[in-house]
A and B are shown apart, each in its own frame.
Chain A
Amino acid sequence: MTVSVGRSVVRQDADPKVRGQAVFGVDFELSGSLHAVLVRSPIASGRIRSVETSSAAAVPGVRLVATAADAPRILSGLALADQPLFAGDVVRYEGEPIAAVVADTVTIARAAAARVVVDIEPLPVVASLSAAVAPGAPLVHADWSTYRPSPGLPDWPRHDNVVGEMRFDSGGVDDVFSTADVVIEDVYTADRQYQAYLEPKSATAVYEAGRYTIHAAHQYHFNVRDRTAAALGILPSRVRVIGHHMGGGFGAKLDVGLEPYAALLARLAGAPVKMVNDRVEDLLSCNSRENAIIRVRSGVTRNGRILAREFLVDMDAGAYAGDTVFLTSIALFVAEGPYSVDRTRVVARALYTNTAPTGAFRGVSGTYLYFALERHTDNLANALGMDRRDFRIRNAIDAGHTMLNGQVLEDSDLLRAAFDAIDEVAPWETLGRGPNRGVGIAATVWLTNPMPGAVTLRLEPDGSLGVVTGAAEIGTGAVALGVRQVAAEELGIDPDLVVLTMPDTDAHAYDGGAQGSRTTHIVGRAVQHAAAGLRERIFGQAAKLLDSGADELEITDGRVRMVSDPQRTVTLGQVAGAAMFDGGPIISSGSYATPAPKHDPDAATGLLFATFPTPTYHVHVAEVEVDPVTGRVTVLRYLVAQEVGRAINPAGVMGQIQGGVTQGLGYALWETLQIGDDGRYRQRSLEAYKLPIALDVPRVEAILLEHPADAGPYGAKGVAEPPIVPVAAAIANAVADATGGSIVRLPITPDDVLNALESSKE
């Protein structure tokens, strides 16, 4: 019987949020703050001839105008040190910062920024993946060979506009293709997707006594600290980052944004500096999900065994490596997906182009890699005349499956349970019947991010439990529900007695950020470690108060009592009060990071992300109807079976599934950042960028599959990222089924639907 875990407890931060009291990054202001805006490049590629700042500097209320000349001459980056703070000699994407204006008000700063005259000689634009690797392509970085990986990373294969290349080959793939019964080859493309968090990026910084303090609304405060320090050429300990409520991030707020600029400008101005992106510059400069081209070829036997596969991926890193270079590794884990394949070759490249640098977005490259894999899987089944679901189940991995990196998935038979769970609710053969209707299915294996986390627990004399952690609450409830409920459970107290902190890199131990569904799993484990030490002190102190042995005690309902004599009790608050002058405050700390699963680090070259820790298993089914006149796709039903280990808060998990699927529907059907030949985005505002609204999305039917014995706090694994991963695949397969035609790109536009309907008639 749990007091907290498994219950849909409501979140404490909902109250200030519904009152409008929660202070978000854009709301936070230090007294005496100045305001800064960036002057960004209007074109995608060019050589800077001059930057004329004097007329901007002369505007009343302007404190200073900074350019590359005012910043340290340092290149830095998340993976590769290839990016300056301000473009000095060349601009490489539209929106690249060239200068900054600091003024008394944001209105003055914007008006003055418009008076900075930037003279740029246009250079050829590398606007597409094919252009980046065309013979004689202009180099986005002429000096690429002089670049070095960020500290702690070994270098990897890269050349010219190829900023990263991951390569795996089991051998014998081509032999199979020349002898297999059936060989199918498909090419898919996916556009960029903007994270479109409702709160634009912001930062406020102040420089005092040789240290920078940055107020951030960010997913990963320790990365802000380290990346700001690297950009400014100082030690990380010279930077303090304090977190505030954040209005969504979805991966875009993992790398630094405005923070290093605010820090530099605060030092130059000698006053606090606040910066907030306007929505247009936020969209244009955002590290969106990358566009990609995926080529998949498979050789299969007539009875449906997959003998060989080639999986070739080109991803658009944009003008700087960012974190996209890491994401090439994901292709190794998706090339086979949740199916058995005898022989495989995988090549995934990240390419430089003259476009905004891309980066993490929930589900990262998995979204389009699974789109390609699962569309291709449908094509294999159809070519063999086999039912698409049967084909998948026949080839589904079993327990003990070895992935291409040599990692063994001990529990991968859980995938079959997910297929079964959906079929019980919505039998496959009953779905997608009727004219213009179709059904799609997609299965995935996904990971839980292993990055380290830590916590200090404090038992207070008023009976409350302080949970002191640098973990960030991005909005999912991972801290507000997950960590809090695990802590309450460990101490046997009401979750309302838990007091949570906001991240502060001076006060808290390292935390790996709100990413990859890690927070509840990792910090929850840290809480369990800390709680063991806390209980030891509680029992030691209570034993004195109750005149018993420490091993004769138990904690229940906020009290310590004797197992043999439950009437003899003392409250946790009394224990904390007694300890105050008998050993000191009751605290205990714990840390955790997922150990790397056993694997072969040399399985592939250029593998920056070598394992798939704490895997989870997922099946999604979509039923759609297409309008043969308008090409519009309506999602009639959407079903999810998700293996979660243990749902610490079932309503919270359901909220992640509904939200993740909705973002996936947007990706599949509406959202796109298209790139023109000039390297500039065609969608340049939230009006042009089509986000799902309430009328667009169905209520998702989700089944949570629990295996509480699994690793994790009470069995809990990552839950928030995976719900987006299979969505584009399931929807595309459903649209292909409904139209009888071919769907090969994301998003699926009305024209694509009408063309698919037309082609199926031929």
Chain B
Amino acid sequence: MSAVTFTVNGRIVTLDADGADTLLTVLRDRLGLTGTKEGCAEGECGACTVLVDGVPVDSCLLNVHAVAGSDVLTIEGLATSDGRLSPIQQAFVDNFSVQCGFCTPGFLMTLTALIADTPTPDEVTIRSALSGNLCRCTGYSTIVDAVMAATGQTERS
């Protein structure tokens, strides 16, 4: 056990963690941030995706000590402090991009990073960016629709 300090959704946290504690288990079990999901614990499904200093990572594979001093953003940190959804969150609601919703937090984190990086991504770029995120319900099309809407590339229906 040793102490680690990092920022989660703008809040500084310091906690003791051992070598087996992943960022995912710390977020879910220690910090109560259960919006980040464990789908496979082997980096295949992307349900546990969070942003570390703006970069999407599988939090299930990352030892929590690896984020010491970093800025971690989770799904709970996407909406504004007054509760307004981010554009990509709102686009998921409007475009039927959510079915069961278990993969949704991971998709939203990956796409938040994509849009920050590439403000108007084309469809192939979107689908490529989503290579590490599995969705079993939607067949992906409405998720692509949401990105196009959130980036102003389609008329809002």
**Using a CB–CB distance below 8 Å, which chain A residues touch chain B?**
8, 10-11, 13-15, 17-24, 26-27, 107, 195-200, 245-248, 250, 278-279, 474-477, 651-652, 654-655, 658-663, 685-687, 691-695, 697, 699-700
State which of A21, A107, A652 has its C-beta within 8 Å of the C-beta of B20. Answer: A107
CA distance A411 to B94 in the complex (A): 36
Bound Cα distance A27, B102 (Å): 11
User: A18-B108, A196-B136 provided; 8 other pairs, C-beta below 8 A?
Assistant: A10-B94, A10-B96, A14-B98, A19-B79, A247-B102, A475-B99, A476-B137, A659-B136
A475: B residues at CB distance < 8 A: 99-101, 137
Contacting residue for A694 out of B28, B38, B74, B127, CB 8 A: B127
Q: List chain B residues, Cβ under 8 A from A247.
A: 37, 39, 100-103
Residue-wise, chain B 5-43 has the 8 Å CB interface mask toward A (1 for contact) of 000000000000000100000001000011111111110
Answer whether residue B57 sits at the interface, using C-beta atoms and an 8 A cutoff: no
A271 shortest CB reach to chain B, Å: 18
Which residues of chain B are within 8 angstroms of A18 by Cβ–Cβ distance? 75, 78, 85, 89-90, 92-93, 98, 101, 104, 108
If A17-B98, A19-B79, A686-B134 touch, whether A658 touches B141 (CB-CB below 8 Å) is yes
Q: Do the beta carbons of A279 and B142 come within 8 Å of each other?
A: no
Asked if A20 and B135 make an inter-chain contact with CB atoms under 8 angstroms apart, the answer reads no
* B134 and A691 form a contact (CB under 8 A): yes
State in angstroms the CA–CA spacing of A159 and B89 once bound together. Answer: 56
Q: B101–A279 contact, CB under 8 A?
A: no
Q: Which residue numbers of B lie inside 8 Å of A, CB to CB? A: 20, 28, 33-42, 44-45, 47, 74-76, 78-79, 85, 89-90, 92-94, 96, 98-105, 108, 124, 126-128, 130-131, 133-144, 157
Give every chain B residue within 8 A of A693 (Cβ-Cβ): 127, 130-131, 133-134, 140
- The complex places the Cα of A248 from the Cα of B100 at a distance, in Å, of 6
* A663 and B93 alpha carbons, distance in the complex (Å): 23
Chain B residue numbers with a CB within 8 Å of A700 are: 139, 141
What CA separation (Å) do A658 and B131 show in the bound complex?
18
Could you tell me if A694 and B41 are in contact, using CB atoms closer than 8 angstroms?
no
Complex contact A694–B131 (CB within 8 A)? yes
Query: Taking CB as reference atom, which chain A residue is nearest B157?
Result: A8
**In angstroms, how far is the closest chain B Cβ from the Cβ of A685?**
6
Among candidates B79, B101, B105, B127, residue contacting A14 with C-beta atoms closer than 8 Å: B101
Residues of B close to A686: CB separation below 8 A: 39-40, 42, 44-45, 134
Q: List 16 A-B pairs, Cβ < 8 Å.
A: A8-B96, A8-B157, A14-B92, A19-B35, A19-B78, A20-B34, A21-B35, A27-B34, A198-B39, A247-B101, A279-B45, A655-B99, A658-B138, A659-B138, A685-B40, A693-B127
* Residue pair A199, B140 in contact (C-beta under 8 Å): no
Q: A248 and B74: CB pair below 8 A?
A: no
Q: How near does chain B come to A365, taking the closest CB pair, in angstroms? A: 20
Bound-state CA distance A184–B126 (Å) is 47
Residues of A within 8 A of B76 (CB): 19-21
Determine the chain B residues whose CB is within 8 A of the CB of A695 once the complex forms: 124, 127-128, 130-131
> A20 touches which one: B74, B124, B142 (CB < 8 A)?
B74
Residues of B within 8 A of A694 (CB): 126-128, 130-131, 133, 135, 140, 143-144
Residue of B nearest to A13 (CB): B101
Complex Cα spacing A200 to B42, Å: 13
| Cross-chain contact of A10 among B79, B93, B102, B139 (Cβ < 8 A) | B93
Q: Tell me, in angstroms, the Cα distance from A21 to B38 when the chains sit together.
A: 15
Closest 6 CB pairs of A and B: A20-B35, A247-B102, A475-B100, A17-B101, A662-B139, A20-B75
Q: How far is the CA of A699 from the CA of B123 in the complex (A)?
A: 11
Interchain CB contact under 8 A, B47 and A198: yes
Contacts of A477 in B (CB 8 A): 99
Smallest CB–CB gap between B9 and chain A, Å?
11
Could you tell me if A248 and B96 are in contact, using CB atoms closer than 8 angstroms?
Answer: no
A198 near B35 with CB under 8 A, answer no
Query: Do the beta carbons of A23 and B34 come within 8 Å of each other?
Result: yes
State whether A661 and B139 are in contact (beta carbons under 8 Å apart), knowing that A14-B92, A18-B89 are contacts in the complex: yes
CB neighbours (8 Å) of B103 from chain A are: 198, 247
- Chain A positions within 8 Å of B138 at CB level: 655, 658-659, 662
CA distance A699 to B143 in the complex (A): 11
By a CB distance below 8 angstroms, the chain B residues around A655 are 96, 99, 137-139, 142
Docked Cα-Cα span, A23 to B33, in Å, equals 11
CA gap between A317 and B98 in the complex, in Å: 33
Chain B residue, CB-CB nearest to A660: B139
Q: Which residue of B lies closest to A474 (CB)?
A: B100
Residues of A within 8 A of B98 (CB): 11, 13-14, 17-18
- List residues of chain B with CB within 8 A of the CB of A279: 39-42, 45
Is the Cβ of A17 less than 8 Å from the Cβ of B142? Answer: no
Cβ of B77 to closest chain A Cβ, rounded Å = 9
Closest to A25 in B: B102
B85 — nearest CB in chain A belongs to which residue? Answer: A18
B70: min CB distance to chain A, Å: 20
Cβ B93 vs Cβ A687 within 8 A:
no
Task: Kindly provide the distance from the CB of A274 to the nearest chain B CB, expressed in whole angstroms.
Answer: 12
Q: Smallest Cβ distance from A394 to chain B, in angstroms?
A: 33
How far, in angstroms, from A626 to B35 measured CA to CA in the complex?
41
B93 engages A15 (CB within 8 Å)? yes
Identify which of B33, B37, B143 contacts A198 (C-beta below 8 A).
B37
Which residues in B have their C-beta under 8 angstroms from that of A660? 139
Cα A663 to Cα B134 with chains together (Å): 12
In the complex the two chains form, is A198's CB within 8 Å of B93's CB? no
In-complex Cβ contact of A248 among B34, B85, B92, B102 (8 A): B102
Residue from B94, B100, B105 within 8 A of A197 (CB atoms): B100
Q: Which residue of chain B lies nearest to A688 when distances are taken between CB atoms in the complex?
A: B44
Nearest chain B CB to A118's CB is how many angstroms away? 24
Compute how far the CA of A695 lies from the CA of B127 in the bound complex, rounded to whole angstroms: 5
Q: Which of B93, B108, B133, B139 contacts A658 (CB 8 A)?
A: B139
By a CB distance below 8 angstroms, the chain A residues around B126 are: 694
Residues in A whose Cβ lies below 8 Å from that of B142: 655, 658
A194 smallest CB distance to B (angstroms): 10
**In the bound complex, what is the Cα–Cα distance between A699 and B124 (angstroms)?**
12
Residues of B within 8 A of A697 (CB): 139-141
Task: Report which residue of A476, A686, A687 has the largest number of chain B beta carbons within 10 angstroms of its beta carbon.
Answer: A686
Determine the chain A residues whose CB is within 8 A of the CB of B94 once the complex forms: 10
Q: How far is the CA of A85 from the CA of B78 in the complex (A)?
A: 44
- In angstroms, Cα B42 to Cα A31, docked, is 29
Q: Contact check: which of B28, B40, B47, B101 meets A22 at CB < 8 Å? A: B101
Give Cα A250–Cα B135 distance, bound, in whole angstroms.
Answer: 13
Query: Is the pair B45, A198 in contact by a Cβ cutoff of 8 Å?
Result: yes
B74 to chain A, nearest CB (A): 7
Report whether B136 and A250 are in contact in the complex, using a CB–CB cutoff of 8 Å.
yes
Asked if B136 and A198 sit within 8 Å, CB to CB, the answer is yes
Bound Cα distance A477, B135 (Å): 16
A14 to B95 Cα, complex, angstroms: 10
CA distance A245 to B100 in the complex (A): 8
Is there an interface contact between A248 and B131, defined as CB atoms closer than 8 Å?
A: no
With both beta carbons as reference points, the residue of chain B lying nearest to A15 in the complex is identified as: B93
Q: With A and B bound together, what is the CA distance between A247 and B101 in angstroms?
A: 6
Chain A minimum-CB-distance residue to B35? A20
The interface residues of chain B lying within 8 Å CB-to-CB of A20 are: 33-36, 74-76, 105
**Interface hub of A17, A26, A474, A686 (most chain B Cβ within 10 A):** A17
CB–CB B37/A687 < 8 A: no
B136–A691 touching, CB < 8 Å: yes
Residues from chain A with a CB closer than 8 A to the CB of B135 are 198, 694
Decide if B93 touches A24 in the complex (CB within 8 Å).
Answer: no
Known A198-B47, A199-B37, A695-B127; judge A685-B96 contact (CB<8 A).
no
Report the minimum CB–CB distance from A31 to chain B (whole Å).
Answer: 13
Given contacts A279-B39, A659-B138, A694-B131, contact A19 B101 (CB under 8 A): no
Task: Provide the residues of chain A in CB contact with B40, threshold 8 Å.
Answer: 279, 685-686
Contact A199 B100 (CB under 8 A): yes
